A = this chain, B = another copy of it.
Amino acid sequence: QMLEEVIAALQPKVLKNRRILITAGPTFEPIDPVRGITNRSSGKMGYAIARAAREAGASVTLISGPTALDTPYHVNRVDVMTAIEMRDAVMSHISHQDIFISVAAVADWRVANASDQKIKKNKNGDTPTLEFTENPDILASIAALPDPPYCVGFAAESEKLRQHAEEKRRKKGIPLLVGNIGHETFGKDDNTLILFDDTGTLELPHGSKQLLARQLIEQIAKRL
């Protein structure tokens, strides 16, 4: 914590007096009391951005799905499990925020027929069938608010990153979308980021997630 404080003190205060809301990690969508659907997101990128935003002087709230990470120093963390819980937590913290960064890998679907009891194997070898319901698009809902904060999205695509990312940015109606190299980065400590905005694309050089997080915060600060 001493070291974190020293590092924080040395960073340029480009987000001084700004309030920033960040989502991070996966969501967990229950199938039954013990099983659920999740994804390979470790939460590292979102936590690194929360840390960088705080180093840059911002007041940071982090809405986090289940991760094994420590809360960055001086960051207000709210834990959630499902996409619906994350949406509710975001909505209840969104007022007076200057920036919203949606880094969490929110499940596109939840299980429509989740069971109250653990689903058991039966002797006939029958297998369960899962039906899905689409989850709310948290980022698009925030971007569609009457007076939205500056909205930043993340895209992790396993194919045609550039095309999907720009499509996604326009569909969600957000000024900045950050693409990464998809599932290859999950759990890793470094990453490559590509920024998509109205002016085109900007590729940040490959580096540690913490270094990239600082560069991203600088880029966001420039655009406010």
> Which residues of A are at the interface with B, using a C-beta cutoff of 8 A?
31-41, 68, 105, 107-109, 112, 117-121, 125, 127-134, 156-159, 164, 182-183, 186
Contacts and interface: CB of A to CB of B under 8 A. Distances in A.
Given A32-B158, A34-B182, A109-B127, 5 more contacts: A34-B40, A34-B186, A35-B40, A118-B157, A129-B131
A118 B181 CA distance: 13
Given A37-B35, A127-B109, A183-B34, A134 B121 contact: yes
A117 B158 contact: yes
8 contacts: A34-B40, A35-B38, A36-B39, A37-B37, A109-B127, A112-B127, A118-B158, A118-B182
Nearest to A116: B158
A186 B156 CA distance: 30
A159 B127 contact: no
Contacts of A33: 158, 182-183
A106 to B, nearest CB: 11
Copies of the chain in the assembly: 2
A158 B32 CA distance: 10
A34 B158 contact: yes
A80 B112 CA distance: 30
The 9 closest A-B pairs by CB, nearest first: A68-B68, A127-B132, A33-B183, A118-B158, A35-B39, A130-B130, A33-B158, A34-B39, A34-B183
A34 to B, nearest CB: 5
Contacts of A125: 134
Contacts of A186: 34
Contact of A128 (B38, B109, B118, B127): B109
Contacts of A39: 34-36
A156 B108 contact: no
Contacts of A38: 35-38
A188 to B, nearest CB: 14
Contacts of A117: 158-159
Nearest to A125: B134
B36 A156 contact: no
A131 B182 CA distance: 25
